[in-house]
Amino acid sequence: MGTAEPHVASSAATQLTDGFQLVIDALKLNGIDILFALPGIPITDLTRRAQAEGLRVLSFRHEQNAGYAASIAGFLTQKPGICLTVSAPGFLNGMNALAHATTNCFPMILISGSSEREIVDLQQGDYEELDQLAIAKPLAKAAYRVLHAEDIGIGIARAIRAACSGRPGGVYLDLPAKLFAQAIDAEAGKRTLIKVVDPAPKQIPAPEAVKRALDLLRSAKKPLIILGKGAAYAQADAEIKNLIEKTGIPYLPMSMAKGLLPDTHEQCASAARSFVLPAADVVMLIGARLNWLLSHGKGKTWGGKSAKDWGGQRFIQIDISPQEADSNVRIDAPVVGDIGSCVSAMLASLGGWQKPPADWLNAISEKKKANVAKMAETLAKNPTPMNFHSALAVVRDLIKANPDAILVNEGANALDFTRSIVDMYKPRKRIDVGTWGIMGVGMGYCVAAAVVTKQPVIAVEGDSAFGFSGMEVETLCRYNLPVCIVVMNNNGVYKGTDQDPTGRDPAPTVFVKGARYDKIIEAFGGVGVNATTPAELRKAMEEALRSKKPTLINAVIDETAGTESGRITSLNPSAAKKK
Ligand code: ADP
Ligand code: TZD
Ligand code: MG
């Protein structure tokens, strides 16, 4: 227990432990070895003592970034990412990430210190007083408070189980300041700790559900599989590849499922997305929800005549949540279970499988060829100033040459162009804005990805997107992480060309023209490079990957090159009206 006194089995010399120690012991017992934290009352000593006990304590400049780091560590490892904050304001800064984890189905635990219960409940104005548990509840998958040191083991066990089991999510754990100092007998304390057995139990699908799904899939003339980030999270990579290759069915990866099979796989239909969605007759979703990112499974994207019209597809949905089916359109064959078990069960029952009809596969392959040729032409251009395409052609080559690198991506145009241009080759290598299309995940994701995967990280960031977490470049430099940030600098949100019609101020979407983001990282000893051509960008990225030094490249992009809202212009009421 880290105290100098050896344990003596006499009542006079009972060895004590305290709340701080029990939290650390409970986390360690459950294999948690990293805390994403920002210290202060009442958790400063928790961070110090955790570090002294061998946990990695990564200290951030803002809790939101620590929280995003924890959330993506959860996605990448299937272990809950732990974010540790102080009370009220620190807690609230972490809430955005907690809600993000719940929304994206990532296992994460936000642990916040809190003020004295009696004072909070009587609203007597304690230091950083806030009823944190009540605020966290609607945004978390589960939320718990521990009042007694003897209950710390249970509190942490429940938080881990809630975060990881079933559909993963964000869990809040409220630890009042007084708890940390509570002293109890060390031996008794040890007996209260729980090593969680099987935190994410397999969920085996019902055989009749598997049969129903396979019967429907077999009847299809134009089948399509959609892989979502749930499929990437599940780490059933070999089974998924097997199912896709044995059935011969074309597939579309959602953004964070890119690379689950290489994007260059002949069955990958990404380059023919707008052709396959309306044309498919049976669609099997694996760990993907029919939310806005898939136009809710209906409307013109799916061949419907109007926005709410059904396109005629029949759906199979593999998902761990029994409530997901029928959320947007009818699901003819729901398969409820974990993806590894479901896909294995399907593989076991495939029998002699007939590949999909050749006319369907040929039609897709022709669309792909035409679109890839068109894109190659655009990518080959070398305009001055550089545009998104010419810059991303460089990123595309570098990811191809370094397929183990993690690609972090946020922005609007900087996001949409990267997703469509940069191929991924391995599972869980692309991490981005996720279900909410949120800005601000960038630097937190970079820290977590570098630390938990020990691979180099390349971040493609819109200049606006970067600003949300930019101060964490100090964190990257402090821990000397192999992260290369490319800021796609087009002088603003979407474009740098807007004007204030009254002539008084800069337009709301426009930033300082010609800003030098590369200078920011130099303040902390990192490498800053200003790149105005693809050749300069390539040289700087290659050098960053070689040296493994934290690097920020200011990629100067034509300020007229972007479009309003990137690819989701249709969701923007003003842009939709203009059309
Ligand atoms: P995308 O944004 O890539 O389309 P979503 O986040 O919408 O993906 O969907 C992920 C889905 O995966 C969620 O419905 C979630 O319940 C499901 N899921 C997550 N992990 C597993 C798992 N291990 N087994 C089965 N389904 C899972
Ligand atoms: N705030 C948060 C937290 N998330 C958001 N998605 C937004 C605001 C709105 N928003 C977008 O949806 S994209 C974007 C904002 C502010 C920035 C786009 O500018 P960028 O990218 O410089 O990052 P491009 O390449 O200029 O389009
Ligand atoms: Mg921009």
Instruction: Give tens-digit pLDDT for 516-574.
Output: 999 999 999 999 999 999 999 999 999 999 999 999 999 999 999 998 877 777 777 76
In this structure, CATH architecture of domain 381-578: 3-Layer(aba) Sandwich (3.40)
| CATH 3.40.50.970 matches 8-192 | yes
1 pLDDT band (50/70/90 cuts)?
Answer: very low
The answer, yes or no, to whether any atom of ligand 1 lies below 6 A from the CB of 257, is: yes
| 222 in contact with ligand 1, CB cutoff 6 A | no
* Residue with token string 């710390």: 152
Please give the helix or strand (H or E) that residue 30 lies within, else none: none
Q: ∠ at Cα 124 (119, 126), nearest 5°?
A: 65
Q: Say yes or no: CB of residue 568 within 6 Å of ligand 2.
A: no
**What percent of the chain lies above the pLDDT cut of 70?**
97
Q: Which two tokens stand for residue 557?
A: 């992009």
pLDDT band at 579 (very low <50, low <70, confident <90, very high): very low
| Three-state SS at 517 | coil
Q: Which atom of ligand 1 is nearest to the CA of 319?
A: 26
> In the prediction, which pLDDT does 568 show?
74
**Residue at token pair 């692309």:** 430
CATH 3.20.20.70 corresponds to the domain 207-366? no
Find out whether the beta carbon of 465 lies less than 6 Å from any atom of ligand 2: yes
Q: What whole-number distance in Å separates Cα of residue 400 and Cα of residue 421?
A: 12
Q: Which ligand is nearest to the CA of 287?
A: 1
When pLDDT is averaged across residues 62-88 and rounded to a whole number, the result is 98
**Residue of 395, 410, 487, 494 to test ligand 2 pocket, by largest number of atoms within 8 Å of CB:** 494
Give the pLDDT confidence score for residue 8 in this predicted structure: 43
Name the helix (H) or strand (E) containing 544. helix 534-547
DSSP letter for each residue of 346-399: HHHT--SPPPPPHHHHHHHHHHHHHHHHHHHHHHH---SSB-HHHHHHHHHHHH
Is the pLDDT at 9 greater than 70? The verdict is no
Residue 234 Cβ inside 6 Å of ligand 1? The answer reads: yes
Residue 97 and residue 64 in contact, taking contact as beta carbons nearer than 8 Å: yes
In which band, very low, low, confident or very high, does the pLDDT at 48 lie, cut at 50, 70 and 90?
Answer: very high
Check residue 6 and give its pLDDT: 45
Residue 356: the pLDDT is 98
Asked if residue 493 has its Cβ within 6 Å of ligand 2, the reply is: yes
207-366 and 381-578: identical CATH topology: yes
**Domain definitions of the chain by residue range:** 8-192, 207-366, 381-578
Place 497 in a pLDDT band, splitting at 50, 70 and 90: very high
Q: What is the mean pLDDT of residues 255-272?
A: 98
List CB-based neighbours of ion ligand 3 within 5 Å: 462-463, 490
CB-CB contact of 427 with 259 (8 Å): yes
At 565 the pLDDT is: 76
Picking from 572, 421, 560, the residue whose alpha carbon sits closest to that of residue 486 is 421
Residue closest via CA to ligand 1's atom 22 equals: 338
Checking if the pLDDT of 578 tops 50, the result is: no
Confidence of residue 10 (pLDDT cuts 50, 70, 90): very low
pLDDT in tens, 427-460: 999 999 999 999 999 999 999 999 999 999 999 9
* pLDDT band at residue 4 using 50, 70 and 90 as cut-offs: very low
- Cβ partners under 8 Å of residue 527, min gap 6: 521, 543, 544, 547, 549, 550, 551, 552
> Average pLDDT, stretch 364-379?
95
- Cβ-based burial of 373 (10 A; exposed 0-12, middle 13-18, buried ≥19): exposed
**Residues 120-127: what's their mean pLDDT?**
95
The pLDDT of residue 160: 99
